[in-house]
Amino acid sequence: MHQKSTLEVRVKSIIKETATIKRFTLQALNGLKLPPFSGGSHISTHLPKASGTLERSYSVFNLSEPGSIEIAVRLAEPSTGGSEYWHHHVSEGDVLKVSYPKNHFPLSFQAKHHVFYAAGIGITPFLSMMAELSEKNQSFELHYAAKSKEQCAFFDFLNQTYPGLCHFYFSEGENRQRLSAKLLMDHRIGTHVYFCGPDKMIQEFSSAAIRYGYPAFNFHFERFASPVKKDALPFGITLKQSGKHLEVPAERSLLDVLREIGIDVSYSCRVGGCGTCEVKVAEGEIDHYDSFLTDEQRCSNRTMLSCVSRGKGNVLLDL
């Protein structure tokens, strides 16, 4: 999200949910309440580092007190900076800046039944969704994959809060069980399904939903990391209005390069799901890695999402 407005929050508590996942409870300063949010919302956190502010987005939920916001952060291996900072440099009492909650992964209330498929830290957006549905007496169920019970964040909370509605799949231990996309065949007409996990899992379940005849508006997904770009190459861009030429290195995004030189490109999710960072293309071919544009828009080569997509060779941007 473009940093037009931020909130100052204090880290009230830090709970170690698993060996690699910590839960952070954030509260407003001066006893105020933080803004409410709908199921599936996220915030961008602004982390102060010597090299500059590091921005990372996390799904929000609230398992503790009204008026607070909670996030869960998995320590990634290797970390690109965000999870390492949260795990090793954030302490209780610290004051940080965060964005107002935004929602690009909302519940569909056209659904007669909601089914959530989570893998690992992908459970986080579903915590707020399930709370909202439960409050409204809406029908739902959860299918949640992790390596083991010990590495399954919020296992006890989910079992106690939603008895009989949560199904767990552990890939390690004596009773190994894999979360299978074939489960999609078991849901009644009118069901909406939601996927959150690694990119490979999202691709598998989305492809299966299409094969099994789910309408496009009946399945929803959110990535918690940018799509993997195999053998990403640097590419050149030219700004049509100024004629300025820039290089986008293989390890950086077009969004970062544009903002670094003062081009005011708005953004939010940074994983190609919301469309906020869309820029117009005047000439050139694009490798699209987003999940937002239509097939027709991708084929036109007239637009791209600057957070994840890349040019083939040189690209003339309508900027």
Q: What is the pLDDT along the chain (319 residues), one digit of tens a residue?
A: 344 478 999 999 999 999 999 999 999 998 789 999 999 999 999 988 776 778 888 999 999 888 999 999 999 876 667 899 999 999 999 999 999 999 999 999 899 999 999 999 999 999 999 999 999 999 999 999 999 999 999 999 999 999 999 999 999 988 899 999 999 999 999 999 999 999 899 999 999 999 999 999 999 999 876 666 667 889 999 999 999 999 999 888 999 899 888 888 888 777 887 888 999 999 999 999 887 888 889 899 899 999 899 999 899 999 9
pLDDT of 267: 80
- Write down the pTM of the prediction: 0.83
pLDDT of 79: 61
Per-residue DSSP letter, 102: B
- What radius of gyration, in Å, describes the C-alpha atoms of the chain? 20
For residue 54, CA distances in Å to 131, 252, 273 come to 30, 14, 20
pLDDT of 225: 67
pLDDT of 255: 92
Domains of the chain: residue spans and CATH: 6-99 (2.40.30.10), 113-222 (3.40.50.80), 235-317 (3.10.20.30)
pLDDT of 80: 62
Contacts of residue 283, defined as CB under 8 A and 6 or more positions apart, other chains included, come to: 315, 316
Helix (H/G/I), strand (E/B), else coil: 227: coil
CB 254 within 8 A of CB 273: no
Mapping DSSP onto H, E and C, the string for the chain reads: CCCCCCEEEEEEEEEECCCCEEEEEEEEHHHCCCCCCCCCCEEEEEEEECCEEEEEEEECECCCCCCCEEEEEECCCCCCCHHHHHHHHCCCCCEEEECCCECCCCCCCCCCEEEEEEEHHHHHHHHHHHHHHHHCCCCEEEEEEECCCCCCCCHHHHHHHCCCCEEEEECCCCCCCCCCHHHHHHCCCCEEEEEEECHHHHHHHHHHHHHCCCCHHHEEEEECCCCCCCCCCCEEEEECCCCCEEEECCCCCHHHHHHHCCCCCCCCCCCCCCCCCEEEEEEEEEECCCCCCCHHHHHHCCEEECCCCEEEEEEEECC
pLDDT of 182: 97
pLDDT of 293: 86
For residue 92, CA distances in Å to 12, 23, 213 come to 6, 11, 48
pLDDT of 2: 41
Q: How far apart are CA 174 and CA 278, in angstroms?
A: 48
